[in-house]
Structure 1
Amino acid sequence: MAYTTFWPGDARLAITISIMFEANGQPISGAGGPITEPIKPGYPDLATNTYFDYGMREGIPRLLDLFDRRKFRVNAFMIGQAVDKNPQLAREIAERGHEVAALGRTWEPQYALSREIAHWALQTPEVTLWVECEKPEISGMPAGHISMKV
């Protein structure tokens, strides 16, 4: 069987790099993260929230510099609340030529939402990202959850 390729430079291996732009959009009482001890609802999960905040302040900017040095372009999956709280960084990702993808409005599992709420959740991140960066190339449910209701 003859091998044909459609990747640039006749590459035989394609690697996709994605970053999740979700920090500061997590629930105040914590989200899945490095700290597994449960926090009572309504109390801030300072350890996990600090962990996520570090990603926005230090992690993503350092990665953007690394991607520039290596001439990599990545997919940046963003939730609307994170863009609302970090518009300058979201804009910088788009301005550096990375692909912006809407991932929902919040961390809420959208596959379990009613049809009306799910429709709203899929529409609002596009508006936020379009205003702050550019029209997203992709819009998808968080963590690949697909709902037959939508």
Structure 2
Amino acid sequence: MNATHSRWPDGARAAVMITVDHDADLALLTGSPTIADRGKTLSVGRYGTDRGIDRLLALFAELDLPATWFIPGRNAERHPQTVRRIAAAGHELACHGDAHEDFQPLTLDEQTRAIRTGADRLRQVTGAPVRGFRTPAGDWKPGLGARFANAGLDWSSSSPGDDLPYLHPGTHGVVEIPVQYELEDHQYFFFNLEPPFPAGQSRIASYAHVLGNWTQEFAAHHRYGLCYVLRLHPEVTGTPGRIGLVRELITHIQAHPDVWVATGSQIADWWRTSHPTNDPGHPADLFARLRSGQGRAA
């Protein structure tokens, strides 16, 4: 058996992780706080809570699919019944900050506070375990991964820097499950007139083309034995038409019997056990060495 076929449980050729970011209007407010009194713009984000989540939950139930939902802590407090329904449906809950903060300008202590508070709010509202994290916006400060354990977290799905999971150097086994921009719905479909998003305004993308992109990426991930991470937003693909794209894609994936569809914690646990160290020369380790001042990698 070659390395590709032995990489995943029970000889699966590839892994698939379906994820949902429940940002609601918090992401809009983070990007442009001046829109706080603009109900029409905020309704673009609130649509996901009001309509999109129910469509995604119904689809996942129909297809018997486990998903991982990244939820800011304040959304759990603002929409407790909705978040409890997500947990009750058997899906995994993961931390997405507290108020969907932009991590870029925050200090390390402020980032630490955001993940701890966000994860604690989720646990308090649902009583469900919270082990994973996805950066809402911006980037981590060096050292944040080493503080994950204090927040009860042990994996992340925030970085686009690889096709397979890896261990964050300098942490207690924190696993990164990379996510790729081309496997998100936001870049293709999210749209607002004022303030304009995207700034140039020239999209919404063709539904058929997006499905083609996602399907072609799955074919490549399956061929090479990689980890395919789909990132959805209820306000973006929870619409009457776009939910059909998600159905077609997942049905196509499920037609492959040699694919392991799993939650973030399942993938992280498998990878941590089967790959206790990164492969020699892994970019994450080389970057950590350079950043710590140990000199240029050989």
| 1:42-70 Cα deviation digits (max 9, x unpaired) | 65232331111111111011110100010
2:28, 2:45 within 8 Å by CA — same for their partners in 1?
A: no
Farther off after superposition, 10-19 or 47-56: 10-19
5+ residue gaps, structure 1, are: 33-39
Tell me which residue corresponds to 1:113.
Answer: 106
| C-alpha distance 43-68 of structure 1, shift in aligned 2 (>3 A) | closer
SS at match of 1:15: strand
Residue 68 of structure 2 aligns with which residue? 75
Residue 62 of structure 1 is aligned with which of 40, 55, 64? 55
Q: Which residue is equivalent to 1:127?
A: 120
Of 75, 88, 91 in structure 1, the residue corresponding to residue 84 of structure 2 is 91
TM-score (norm 1): 0.80
SS in 1 for 2:16: coil
CA–CA separation in structure 2 for the residues paired with 1:140 and 1:98: 16
Matches within 5 A, 1:18-57: 18-26=19-27, 28=29, 31=31, 41=34, 43-57=36-50
SS in structure 1 of the partner of residue 93 of structure 2: strand
TM-superposed deviation, 1:91: 1.1
Looking at structure 1, the residues matched to 69 and 23 of structure 2 have their Cα atoms a distance apart, in angstroms, of: 10
Moved more, 86-95 or 105-114: 105-114
Deviation of 1:71 after TM superposition, in Å, equals 0.5
Q: Partner residue of 2:130?
A: 136
Cα 1:72–1:9 change in 2 (3 A) is: farther
Q: Percentage identity across aligned positions?
A: 27
TM-score by length of 2: 0.43
Give SS of 2:17's match. coil
Q: Mind listing any 5+ residue stretches in structure 2 that lack a counterpart?
A: 145-298
Greater RCO, CA 8 A, separation 6+:
2
Is the CA contact (8 Å cut-off) linking 2:103 and 2:137 kept in structure 1? no
Match of 2:142 in 1: 148
Structure exhibiting the larger radius of gyration computed from Cα positions: 2
Distance (whole Å) between structure 1 residues aligned to residue 25 and residue 88 of structure 2? 21
Is this contact kept in 2: 1:79–1:103, CA < 8 A?
yes
